[in-house]
Amino acid sequence: MSEDRAGLCIDELARWPAGTLLDEQRLADVFDCHTATVKRAVKRGELPAPVRMFGRPCWTAGAIIRHVEARLEAAQQEAEREAARLGKIGA
């Protein structure tokens, strides 16, 4: 997936009501990937764990956005801790 397409995916999810239900195929369509890629993203923690609805894994648009936001916040905090650590070494 191109970087431009990745940005469009989050934009598309953000336009939907938070409660919009997405099954695995729809999420794969949004991210322009195969359903196996969605499964692997869940295993890697890149996507939240789904719930089963009518026998299919599903997410809400809001749950995916919240998960991405939490990962971004954690990455920012880790970068700040690393910068502080490196600052102490250089001082």
Residue spans of the domains in the chain: they are 3-90
Does this model's pTM top 0.85? My answer is no
Top-confidence residue, 38 or 9: 38
Top-confidence residue, 68 or 12: 68
CATH fold of 3-90 reads Arc Repressor Mutant, subunit A (1.10.10)
d(CA 58, CA 41): 14
Residue 2 has pLDDT above 50, yes or no: no
Top-confidence residue, 60 or 90: 60
Mean pLDDT over residues 10-37, rounded?
92
